[in-house]
Amino acid sequence: MVTGGAGFIGSNFIRYVFENTDFKGRIVNYDKLTYAGNIKNLDDISDRYLNSRYFFIKGDICDYKKVFSTLEEYDIDAIINFAAESHVDRSILLPEDFIKTNINGTFFLLEAGVKHSKSKKHFRFHHISTDEVYGSLGKTGYFYETTPYSPRSPYSASKASSDHLVRAYHHTYGLDATISNCSNNYGPYQFPEKLIPLTIINAIEGKDISVYGDGKNVRDWLYVTDHCSAIWLMIKKARAGETYNIGGECEMENIKIVKAICSELESLYPSKNNPFLKDKKYEDLIRFVKDRPGHDRRYAINCDKIKKELGWKQSYDFSNGIKETVKWYLNNKDWIESIKSGDYKKWIKKNYNNR
Ligand code: NAD
Ligand code: DAU
């Protein structure tokens, strides 16, 4: 059972498993379909496997009864928990949903997992987490699996909390649980609230590209299918109770990311041919705006452990990953339009009206 499988990484993961591994079984995608969940992200997989090897259940991970009955009905061997509120800026505006889904939701999944696992010979709970739980770095140093947690936004605090619960359920109840802490992902199907898809779409439409603060905050970027391959290896090979860091070993300042996207667009869709740009270049759209409150300065992950112990490695570097990503958004304007015109707007209106 993949929770949050209609989101960005979850949908890439389901596709990855069907297309790139020797998996012969069934996947149940259990997703609440919040503003960030889009069932169309898996149209190709539905066409091939719906109700034979791929099943979709619209459900909330906070709904213990529904989670448990799904585990039983489909005789689930593993939960891979992607379901979360995932955007830092939203956690600053509307923290409640982050507490509900990321903390309470993980708790209900763990409870259901423990009960269900009693009737199973093998059962694994893999929890998808983030490097943000480790806090913020100065100019040097890295996050290791042993780095103490120091979350600093409502989002990262809620993810840290869920990681602690997962470890507690392993130690206390013997649940076979594993955790991965990954750096910033990018690639196809990412909701256009995050830096890379938002920049690409604004640039294509000739809108301002906002860079927070001085643009020198650093993130470590990983192409999404490289995250998926690491998770798959962990599900198959990691010992119960293990944690692995996953990262791109690709530290970049935000301003460099934004400029790289502009330059990729200049070669794939030159600004002189884009009617929204008139006589501007893509880079002319860049604006430095007010900083994110509590903005973490630098993340950098050390992922030697998963490389050495499980033999994982990245297959994309930033230059080919960003080319693929920009191409995908240029070729999938219908997907962008469906997101812009869909329930997303109603959801934003309902939830953000009074903030
Ligand atoms: P996303 O926001 O694109 O997708 C989240 C999915 O979870 C959506 O399909 C949504 O409908 C679903 N969901 C939300 N609340 C739910 C609930 N209560 N019950 C059931 N489903 C629910 O997120 P993403 O970027 O794909 O991230 C997936 C996971 O990976 C998250 O746990 C996130 O913390 C983690 N992560 C993300 C990144 C990144 O760069 N995006 C990096 C490291 C870790
Ligand atoms: O590090 C892993 C985390 O990466 C994941 O756990 C989160 O789910 C994911 O959202 C991401 O968090 P960030 O806050 O790093 O991602 P975001 O794309 O929002 O921002 C990346 C950087 O770009 C960050 O320093 C803020 C900055 N930024 C972001 C936006 C949306 C801008 O300068 N302008 C923007 O418009």
| Nearest bound ligand to the CA of residue 8 | 1
72 is catalytic: no
pLDDT average, residue stretch 181-191:
98
C-alpha 86 to ligand 1 mean position (Å): 5
C-alpha 23 to ligand 2 mean position (Å): 33
C-alpha 8 to ligand 1 mean position (Å): 7
Strands 177-182 and 286-289: unpaired
pLDDT in tens, 268-323: 999 999 999 989 999 999 999 999 999 999 999 999 999 999 999 999 999 999 99
- Domains belonging to the chain, first-starting first, are 2-191+222-249+294-315 (3.40.50.720)
At residue 338 the predicted structure's pLDDT band, cuts being 50, 70 and 90, is: confident
| Nearest bound ligand to the CA of residue 217 | 2
Share of the chain above pLDDT 70, in %: 96
Residue from 316, 188, 295, 323 nearest 249 by CA:
316
Tell me which H or E stretch contains 58: strand 54-58
Contact 59, 67 (CB under 8 A): yes
- Please give the mean pLDDT across all residues of the chain: 96
Tokens of 190: 């990412």
* Cβ burial 239-263 (10 Å sphere, 16+ → b, else e): eeebbbbbbbbbbbbbbebbbbbbe
Atom of ligand 2 nearest to the CA of 196: 18
Cα separation, 303 vs 143, whole angstroms = 9
The pTM (predicted TM-score) of the whole model is 0.97
155 is catalytic: yes
282 is catalytic: no
pLDDT in tens, 87-126: 999 999 999 999 999 999 999 999 999 999 999 999 999 9
Atom of ligand 2 nearest to the CA of 130: 6
C-alpha 83 to ligand 1 mean position (Å): 5
pLDDT in tens, 14-27: 999 999 999 999 99
